[in-house]
Amino acid sequence: MAAGVDADASASFLLRLVHDIVSVNVAAGMFRKDCTDLVRRIALFTHLLEEIRDFGPSDHDHDHDHASSSSDSSWSADLAIALQAAKRVLSAASVNSSVMPLYPIPSFFILKNMSTSVSLH
């Protein structure tokens, strides 16, 4: 389990993570499409997490066995870890979006290799 993640991550905590991720500035460089796509997909969790938060524990939850509550906290902790990883990736991409490779590959090398790798038989 990652540091800073409770075994029972609440829906409110997960919602705050989603809102933090959605508020991250998307990289303007070569990762823009991927970052925008990731943010859009994570934003889809908002409605589900709001429903889980609003539903809350009810009286029939006391009838569930311990294994069920253990798996309930497991999915939320796993989701929290995944959301925190996505947040780190998006932050790293936005910081490194303007970084160019140290040794760019010459275009003539790319064109030469492309023409030799494509054969018309």
Number of Cβ atoms within 10 Å of the Cβ of 103: 6
Confidence band for 16, pLDDT divided at 50, 70 and 90: very high
Is the pLDDT assigned to residue 94 strictly greater than 70?
Answer: yes
**What pLDDT sits at residue 14?**
94
Distance from C-alpha of 84 to C-alpha of 22, rounded to nearest angstrom? 12
What is the overall mean pLDDT for the chain?
A: 74
Distance from C-alpha of 70 to C-alpha of 37, rounded to nearest angstrom? 32
Do 42 and 86 contact (CB within 8 A), yes or no? yes
Residue 78 Rama label (left phi>0; alpha psi -120 to 50; beta)? alpha
Distance from C-alpha of 37 to C-alpha of 90, rounded to nearest angstrom? 11
Length of the chain: 121
Helices and strands, counts by H and E, the chain: 5, 0
Mean pLDDT score, 107-111: 49
Q: Does the reported pTM lie above 0.85?
A: no
Distance from C-alpha of 69 to C-alpha of 90, rounded to nearest angstrom? 32
